[in-house]
Amino acid sequence: RSTLDGAFTRSHRSSASDDKYMGTAAFLAELVLLDLPDRARLDAALAAAGSHKRLAGAQRVGAGFAPTFSGRHGEVGLHALSHGERDVLRVLATMLRFDLTVAPIFIDLPELAVGPSGGAALLGAMRTLAPDAQIVVATHCPEAFRQLDRARFVTLDGGAA
């Protein structure tokens, strides 16, 4: 058995064809309702991503609960977040939910949904959640790497980043 077997059992694949937010809302509501330590970690990662929103609470929706977020304009639900904010939140919540903070993480075009500066912010937020994880990134956007510690990454194009 490889020492990475535990990491592989925690792997999670998410793509455009998946139900993008499956389980995310329930997981976030659980963080609030059970006051789990990962709530503070998620808020720190959201701050690192440049978001002014924080996980605020949970409201009853049907038979379950949905998370709410506090921000500059009061408390809002998941539906009121922008598409980019939901994508960043989905990546960060998935990392916590499936304990992908020590496994190698592969991400293709992090800037695609959130733009160049958002892609850089997302990578910074991922680093906040998983400071020791190996994050492998495919990107056409050198800006994605500008806020990261250059001593911690390797480029395959001769160091143009």
Q: What is the pLDDT of residue 21?
A: 55
- Specify the DSSP element, H or E, that contains 74: strand 74-77
Question: Which residues have CB under 8 Å from 113's CB, separation 6+?
Answer: 83, 84, 87
pLDDT tens for the chain, residues 1 to 161 = 334 444 444 444 555 444 555 678 888 888 888 888 899 999 999 998 888 899 998 988 888 888 999 988 899 988 888 888 888 898 899 888 888 888 888 888 888 878 888 888 898 899 899 988 888 888 888 777 766 666 666 777 655 54
Report d(CA 109, CA 85) in Å as an integer: 16
Q: What is the pLDDT of residue 6?
A: 42
Contact 67, 58 (CB under 8 A): yes
Report d(CA 161, CA 156) in Å as an integer: 10
Q: What is the pTM of this model?
A: 0.78
